[in-house]
Amino acid sequence: MKLNIALLAGDGIGPEVIDQAVKVSDAIAKKYGHDLSWTPALTGAAAIDDCGEPYPDSTHDVCVAADAVLFGAIGHPRFDNDPSAKVRPEQGLLKMRQKLGLFANVRPTFTFPSLIDKSPLKRERIEGTDLIILRELTGGIYFGERGRKDNGNTAFDTCTYTRAEITRLAKKGFELAMTRGKKLCCVDKANVLESSRLWRETVQAMEKDYPEVTVSYEFVDAVAMRLVQWPNSYDVMITENLFGDILTDEASVISGSMGLMPSASVGEKARLYEPIHGSYPQAAGKDIANPLATVLSAAMMFEDFGLTQEAQDIRDVVNKSLAEGIVTEDLSEGAKAYKTSEVGDWLAKNI
């Protein structure tokens, strides 16, 4: 298969982890005779430095022309403590999601057999966890009306959803559940929020089209609790943008390191793959960050192109590296810590 992939490394550790995913993907391409071409483009603080824009049109053009986008991370500390900054790296990510129409964010949480005891949660609570949070990504409070009034002394952000936005996300949730455990949990705050009541009403009306799927409705605060108590009771969860942002960070610690969880963002056409961790500026340039979340994001990309065996090879080699202790310092626990690039080299060699 011939694939043209846009490579948006971004900021902080982004370029280092992206390099490893490219190495592993190239090794897969060589093994299976695929033709991968990579087109780099700037985003985040790196793009602001270059042209004053975190998601320039030139980068958008590269993404639109590509079959998929592989994304590293964005964010830079020099913007974090400056509330007056007009242009921020994160705006690039939001603009990209919106312009590419990436309305569904697929964030899986699963455990690795050799890392079960590295989780902050007890083994018996997390064993067998294999859930997907499907987060709505281009609506809600992230994109609602916002502003200041009262001479700047009152600020507001509004959460708006249309039935159409909820339906297209929920449809993906039902379809995903059909390929897995056939359980769908709609996470909302319907006891308080009108937008949540529309979510619930919309999903309830869709239940009849998917009779095999068992649907539950849970409030987000209760889910925040159950997610760390009984993560293995969930299969597919659907939720709005902000709830999904918070719950997926919470879920990411279950596996033992935030450096492990991949994600995909999909829309009608575009698809983007990225680790769920951030730009980890303290580690930038040190060759110490865990590249596995990005490598596993590349596996999700192969899977979505129907290259199931290729994806499985990547997951297998990642499991092998974990079992053999070829790990970065976040997982080494006093034993030898491998560099980011060494882990990437080892994975590529063992494909």
Show binding-site residues for substrate. 97, 107, 135, 221
Concerning whether 80 is annotated as a catalytic residue, the answer is: no
Catalytic residue among 249, 304, 320, 345: 249
Among 29, 62, 93, 326, binds ligand IPM (CB under 6 A): 93
Number of residues that bind Mn ion (CB under 5 A): 1
The reply on whether position 90 binds ligand IPM by CB under 6 A is yes
Catalytic residue among 221, 316, 336, 349: 221
Dihedral angle of Cα 46, 270, 23, 298, to the nearest 10 degrees? 120
Which positions from 222 through 251 interact with Mn ion, judged by CB under 5 A?
A: 245
CA distances from 329 to 250, 290, 291, 294, 337 (A): 21, 8, 11, 16, 5
Catalytic residue among 188, 189, 280, 338: 189
CA distances from 23 to 34, 310, 314, 340 (A): 14, 14, 11, 12
The reply on whether position 46 binds ligand IPM by CB under 6 A is no
Concerning whether 142 is annotated as a catalytic residue, the answer is: yes
Phi, psi of 43 (to 5 degrees): -150, 165
CB nearer ligand IPM, residue 105 or residue 321:
105
Concerning whether 209 is annotated as a catalytic residue, the answer is: no
Task: Find the shortest distance in angstroms from Cβ 245 to ligand IPM.
Answer: 5
The reply on whether position 245 binds ligand IPM by CB under 6 A is yes
Residues belonging to the binding site are: 97, 107, 135, 221, 245, 249
CB burial string 129-151: b at 16+ within 10 A, e below: bebbbbbbbbbbbbbeeeeeeee
The reply on whether position 272 binds ligand IPM by CB under 6 A is no
CA distances from 209 to 113, 127, 135, 145, 205 (A): 36, 32, 21, 33, 9
The reply on whether position 287 binds ligand IPM by CB under 6 A is no
Concerning whether 339 is annotated as a catalytic residue, the answer is: no
Concerning whether 221 is annotated as a catalytic residue, the answer is: yes
Question: Could you tell me which residues are beta bridge partners of residue 109?
Answer: 131
Residue 207 interacting entry, from ligand IPM, Mn ion, none, C-beta within 5 to 8 Å by type: none
Phi, psi of 71 (to 5 degrees): -120, 140
Structure tokens at 61: 């053009």
Classify residue 218 by its DSSP letter. E
**Residues in contact with ligand IPM by the rule CB under 6 A:** 75, 90, 93, 245
Binding residues for Mn ion, rule: CB under 5 A, are 245
Catalytic residues: 142, 189, 221, 245, 249
